[in-house]
């Protein structure tokens, strides 16, 4: 799933990046300390990989993954149930005019990295890469 910051095709602004990182750090700390009163979240370790924020700062999407990748649906349901409490806990130390609506999505980055590693480990791919390296004559320009 591609992460989109805006509909205009431009990358995120510095403010979006700053706010997203601040929310990510604070959300991670809140979850780590177990400040949320939800029995499903109590025994679950959740990684917050990234938080993307819309240009108007009204929606913050947290890309999360439970430790080991187990019980993804259970974690997502628990986070969604507790989003009001999480929003309050995350925003109490921030100085934004309006607290963004928190949304949660499963972070599939780790699965994609594993798939890429497996692809590069495939003998056919390694053979093709080695053949391409042999076609270059050292000046960075190979035959195409």
Q: Where are the domains of the chain?
A: 14-107
Query: Which phi and psi angles does 82 have, rounded to 5°?
Result: -95, 15
| Better-predicted residue by pLDDT, 140 or 120 | 120
27-69 pLDDT, tens digit per residue, is 999 999 989 888 888 888 999 999 999 999 999 999 999 987 7
Both tokens assigned to 132: 């391409």
What is this structure's pTM?
A: 0.70
**Homologous superfamily of the 14-107 domain (CATH):** K homology (KH) domain (3.30.300.20)
pLDDT at 96: 81
* 81 vs 83: CA distance, rounded Å: 6
Determine contact, residues 49/107, Cβ cutoff 8 Å: yes
Place of tokens 């890469």: 129
* 142 vs 144: CA distance, rounded Å: 6
């Amino acid at each position: 799933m591609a992460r989109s910051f805006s509909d205009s095709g431009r990358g995120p602004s510095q403010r979006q990046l700053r706010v997203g990182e601040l929310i990510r750090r604070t959300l991670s700390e809140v979850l780590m300390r177990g400040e949320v009163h939800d029995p499903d979240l109590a025994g679950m370790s959740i990684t917050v990989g990234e938080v993307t924020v819309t240009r108007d700062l009204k929606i913050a999407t947290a890309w999360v993954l439970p430790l080991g990748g187990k019980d993804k649906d259970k974690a997502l349901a628990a986070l969604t149930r507790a989003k009001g409490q999480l929003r309050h806990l995350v925003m109490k130390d921030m100085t934004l005019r309006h607290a963004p609506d928190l949304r949660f999505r499963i972070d599939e980055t780790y699965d994609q990295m594993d798939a890429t590693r497996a692809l590069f480990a495939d003998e056919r791919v390694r053979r093709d890469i080695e053949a391409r390296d042999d076609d270059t004559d050292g000046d960075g320009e190979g035959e195409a």
